[in-house]
Chains A and B, each alone.
Chain A
Amino acid sequence: MNDLKTLRDVLVENLERNMMPFPVDKGICTGWTRDLPRSGETIIYTSCMYQLAPLFPIFNRFLPYLSALKSLTPLASKLKPSEAQLNRAYNVLRKISNALTAKGIKLAYLYDDEPYSGALLLELGFLDEFQEYAKKVYERFKERGVKRIITVDPHTHHALTRYSEFFSFDVEVVNYIELVEAKEGDGNVYTIHDSCLYSRFLNLRDKFREKIKVKLVEDEMVTGKDTSFCCGGPLAPVDFKASEEVAKARAKSLSKLSKNLLVQCPICYVTLSPHFEGEVKDVAEVIL
């Protein structure tokens, strides 16, 4: 198991400094759009998850050495996803943003001022730190006049829906899937890996099923509500090896169903892709 105390210190330090979990070039987060206004009551909130997710496996491999090499963390800001990885992430975000705009939603985006949600603190059980930090995020939203947040990934959505357990939080949080109109799909047959958070914590499993109009290959023992396993991604900051074992097992059972896999979360994408025998796509890439 990794040294979580040092990880906590690194997270807290960076969140205090620039409201991001580690040093990052903010240009990576904001490069997907220039068209959206900088302020408005309704925002699309990326928490930089799609943009940074390709880097997570690199960070996770580094974490076992974090205590010894803590001084190297500022170098993280030099890391960049590949062009192809960024294009893919940007494409997902643009598709979601366009689909929301097409529904007549006036969308704003906080660009450089968009803070990270604090999800990692919550998921690692640093609840005091999460509470502290979440309050700051809330203040940022209030300062910018945000009344409604549209999330695009499950970890961020989950973290925001938990804010009210810690303090009074009066901003509406809604996920993009609840608002968009879906297309027929690309004619391919897919199997599906549900996000654990969407499926069993946020009550959005059926919403995704309702919007996904492509043909899905399902098996009650692999893609059922209580039987579909986690991709292993959330375990990576704790123990990368264990996370990989979970990911391999999950990818193996999904590979038996189809060579095309739909995921709903950027972490599931980066975790399962190396092990899945076939092509992995984000739902937004196919239905929007």
Chain B
Amino acid sequence: MSWEIAVERAINNNVPRVYKILKEHPYILDLAKELREAKLKVLENLDYYVDKTLDSVKRAGGHGYLASTPEEAREIVGKIVGKGKTVVMGKSMVAYEAGIREFLIRQGNEVWETDLGEFLIQLANQPPSHIIAPAIHLTKEEVEKLLKEKIGGVHEGSTHEELVARVRQFLREKFVNADVGITGANAVASDTGTIALIENEGNIRFSSISPAMHIAITGVDKIVPTLADATKEVLVQSAFAGLYPPTYVNFTSGPSSTADIEMKRVSPAHGPKEFHLILLDNGRIKASKDPVLREALLCIRCGRCHLHCPVYRALGVKWGDPPFTGPMGAMWSYVVYNDPKPAMYCAHSGNCKEVCPMKINIPKVLEYIKWKGNKQKA
């Protein structure tokens, strides 16, 4: 019952807001069209763009890696972070996909999710139920109970504001003392090696600036040709997520530096001393070579298709392989985990293809995955 209430509230809050944003800022639709073209260009030649991106990261003073599998990604992160560190994480689906948080904890680090939703599901020990609102399945009342049990400091009948304030107070100290910040990336510009991140909470800015080391982990599908395209990506993603304008847009090209003394460039300045970018493949490069599955890689994780999908509304987190839920998740469960089962649950309602900013014909991709899955079984 609580899922039904929670998702109903989310739909009623978010869906009209996205329509309003798109009406008030019609240029977003043009940017979305351009972004689709730019992303397709990369996906048609992904190997080349991966190399180019890693080169650019190096030129910007950072370290770039391509991880073929989640194990490889964990190994890279493990080597960089080591043990006994305090790690703050900004929301990253790819970090979840690669099991980074649990791995670092097992390695003897103190690790905190800092996005409010992620923090809540970390406390609850649950998988994310939506790609941009991972705790969408929790009602306010459940959040209150959870915080009371796990970190205390909330009273019965707390307001939304009071609950958020308690988390803010709890995490503040973690941000300040963290040795490492791990984030995802909404887009990676291959010409400059810049990562783009949007957020509203400020946790990503904190996580990527305050610690001495910033590790960004994302999928190779997030590569766009240029920094200008990365800018389009963040605008389009935030608009279609119903969070426009985004409170914070973060661009990071390498570690912090200054040339304020005799114009000699010195690193670090106030921000991190080291910047690492890990690009995860995990089935993406293979999918990019398949003209139908390639469409799935265009997804910019706005989460809009979820809220227009009758199956997601009914099944929620039960549909898809975490962190992939909803219509995009049914595609991505196959791309990443080679699991065609979630695609079988597509009832071809078709709303998803109508509302997707990248104009992905999601039912068509899912029909193809059904076919592939049926052939595997046969």
Contact = CB atoms under 8 A, between A and B. Distances in A.
B346 to A, nearest CB: 8
A126 to B, nearest CB: 6
Interface stretch (B85-93, B179-187, B210-218, B310-318): B310-318
B367 A127 contact: yes
Contacts of B368: 125
B348 A4 contact: no
Given A200-B354, A245-B315, A246-B311, A221 B345 contact: no
Interface stretch (A59-67, A108-116, A232-240): A232-240
Interface in B341-378: 341, 343-345, 347-351, 353-355, 363, 367-371, 373-375, 377-378
A88 interface: no
B291 to A, nearest CB: 14
Nearest to A125: B370
A270 to B, nearest CB: 15
Contact of B355 (A226, A230, A232): A226
A199 B310 contact: no
A51 B348 CA distance: 23
Interface residues of B, number: 34
A105 B12 CA distance: 46
Nearest to B344: A238
A235 B368 CA distance: 17
B313 A249 contact: yes
A201 B350 contact: yes
Contacts of B350: 196-197, 199-201
Interface string A153-178: 00000000000000000000000000
Contacts, number: 98
A41 interface: no
A233 B348 CA distance: 10
Contacts of A249: 4, 310, 313-314
Nearest to B349: A230
A235 B354 CA distance: 20
Interface in A105-143: 122-128
A249 B368 CA distance: 28
B284 to A, nearest CB: 23
Contacts of B353: 200
Interface in A185-217: 196-197, 199-201
A98 B351 CA distance: 34
A225 B350 CA distance: 10
B307 to A, nearest CB: 9
A235 B351 contact: no
A235 B311 contact: yes
A201 B349 CA distance: 9
B26 interface: no
A1 B349 contact: no
B181 to A, nearest CB: 38
Contact of B16 (A127, A201, A221, A229): A221
B21 to A, nearest CB: 15
Nearest to A158: B348
A126 B376 CA distance: 12
Interface in B1-24: 4, 11-12, 15-16
A245 B311 CA distance: 9
Contact of B351 (A4, A227, A239, A250): A227
A225 to B, nearest CB: 7
A26 interface: no
Given A1-B341, A221-B12, A234 B314 contact: no
Nearest to A126: B374
Given A126-B371, A127-B367, A227-B351, A246 B308 contact: no
Contacts of A226: 308, 351, 354-355
A97 B75 CA distance: 68
Nearest to B343: A125
Nearest to A200: B350
Interface string B20-64: 000000000000000000000000000000000000000000000
Contacts of B16: 221
Contacts of B349: 196, 200, 229-230
Contacts of A233: 347
A242 B374 CA distance: 20
A5 interface: yes
A94 interface: no
Given A1-B341, A124-B370, A229-B310, A200 B315 contact: no
Contacts of A200: 349-351, 353-354
A208 to B, nearest CB: 15
A8 interface: yes
A125 B345 contact: no
B351 A1 contact: no
Given A125-B373, A221-B15, 11 more contacts: A1-B344, A124-B344, A196-B351, A200-B353, A225-B354, A228-B351, A230-B311, A230-B347, A230-B348, A235-B311, A238-B345
14 contacts: A1-B345, A5-B378, A122-B367, A125-B368, A125-B369, A126-B374, A128-B371, A196-B349, A200-B350, A226-B354, A228-B351, A230-B348, A232-B314, A234-B348
Interface of B: 4, 11-12, 15-16, 308, 310-311, 313-315, 341, 343-345, 347-351, 353-355, 363, 367-371, 373-375, 377-378
Interface of A: 1, 4-5, 8, 122-128, 196-197, 199-201, 221, 225-230, 232-235, 238-239, 242-243, 245-246, 249-250
